[in-house]
């Protein structure tokens, strides 16, 4: 009598299962990186607390203090930092260390890899924003959105801003010749945008030519969109054009999503620049 050993059933991994597994890897790598944890979570919280303590009581409009104005700017800046600055630099490091080259040689689909990156950015951004809002509400009497309309505005501004920042971060990573150049190139760009886009300074107090410069880029519109969520409705009259400009915000952010996606598809590199 012969017996046949049962054959082990094997199921090929699906796109969804590989993406889920990659998301777990991305989150673990983020949690193990103390530098990223400090940059994404501690640094914005420290800036909000510091600026709020020094300038927070100054009124910039009736019933609006500088700390309350500063909160939506920091939320917008956090979205840019996570999706653009941090992602571009981490991809540049992975490219230098041949991590991207090894991943590219595995059966993992490219779309699964980038989806995992985007999901990781979304999760980290949500946690960062929740921390900033909690501090703003607890220490500086910031108001939470009070109705569905404001929450909807928050949602589409957040999603469009994250999409624009993420695609631009992926595209920019390939422009960096090496990981060491990342901080020297990207950090000054982000700082210029923060000072001209209504994050560290009240936007209407920035010289007009710098306002026009900031209007080209996503951060100005991200910050203004978030102000429309967290500040009183009548504060719109104190904006540069006397309104929240929601249609323009949506159009500019959507255009940057398209530009970032086009550049990311055309320029992304899995190997180092000096790798033949």
Annotate 60-123 with DSSP letters as a single string.
EETTEEHHHHHHHHHHHHHHHIIIIIIHHHHHHHHHHTTHHHHHHTSS--HHHHHHHHHHHHHH
> Residue 78 in contact with residue 125, Cβ under 8 Å?
yes
Spatial CB neighbours of 203, under 8 Å, sequence gap ≥ 6: 197, 211, 214, 220, 223, 224, 239, 240
Residue 8 forms part of a structural domain? no
Residue 142 forms part of a structural domain? yes
Residue 3 forms part of a structural domain? no
- Looking at residue 56, its pLDDT comes to 64
Residue 170 forms part of a structural domain? yes
> Residue 203 in contact with residue 189, Cβ under 8 Å?
no
- Looking at residue 7, its pLDDT comes to 54
What average pLDDT values come out for the chain (276 residues) when binned by 10 residues?
51 89 92 82 87 78 87 94 91 90 92 94 94 90 88 96 95 82 85 94 94 96 96 92 95 97 92 76
What is the rounded CA–CA span in Å between residue 225 and residue 79?
A: 12
Residue 7 forms part of a structural domain? no
Residue 273 forms part of a structural domain? no
- Looking at residue 57, its pLDDT comes to 74
Q: Which two tokens stand for residue 231?
A: 């500040």
- Looking at residue 141, its pLDDT comes to 84
Residue 2 forms part of a structural domain? no
**pTM across the whole model:** 0.90
The total domain count for the chain is 1
- Looking at residue 38, its pLDDT comes to 82
Range of the domain at 28: 17-267
> Residue 73 in contact with residue 226, Cβ under 8 Å?
yes
Residue 208 forms part of a structural domain? yes
What is the rounded CA–CA span in Å between residue 127 and residue 122?
A: 9
- Looking at residue 274, its pLDDT comes to 75
């Amino acid at each position: 009598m012969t017996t046949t050993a049962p054959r082990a059933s094997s199921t090929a991994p699906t796109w969804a299962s590989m993406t889920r597994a990659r998301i777990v890897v991305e989150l673990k790598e983020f949690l193990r990186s103390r530098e990223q944890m400090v940059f994404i979570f501690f640094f914005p919280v420290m800036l909000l607390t510091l600026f709020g303590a020094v300038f927070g009581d100054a009124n910039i409009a009736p019933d609006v203090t500088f700390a309350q104005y500063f909160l939506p700017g920091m939320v917008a800046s956090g979205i840019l930092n996570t999706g653009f600055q941090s992602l571009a630099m981490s991809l540049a490091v992975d490219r230098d260390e041949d991590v991207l080259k090894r991943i590219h040689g595995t059966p993992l689909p490219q779309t699964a890899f980038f989806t995992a990156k985007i999901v990781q950015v979304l999760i980290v951004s949500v946690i960062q924003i929740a921390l900033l809002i909690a501090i703003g509400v607890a220490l500086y009497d910031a108001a939470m959105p009070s109705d569905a309309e404001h929450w909807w505005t928050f949602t589409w501004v957040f999603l469009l801003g994250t999409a624009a920042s993420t695609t631009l971060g992926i595209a920019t990573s390939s422009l960096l010749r090496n990981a060491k150049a990342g901080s020297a190139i990207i950090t000054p760009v982000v700082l210029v945008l923060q000072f001209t886009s209504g994050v560290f300074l009240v936007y209407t107090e920035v010289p007009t030519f710098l306002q026009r410069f900031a209007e080209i880029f996503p951060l100005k519109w991200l910050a203004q969109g978030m102000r429309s969520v967290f500040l009183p409705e009548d504060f719109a009259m104190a904006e540069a054009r006397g309104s929240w400009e929601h249609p323009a915000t949506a159009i500019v952010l959507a255009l940057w999503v398209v530009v970032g996606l086009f550049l990311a598809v055309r320029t992304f590199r899995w190997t180092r620049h000096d790798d033949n």
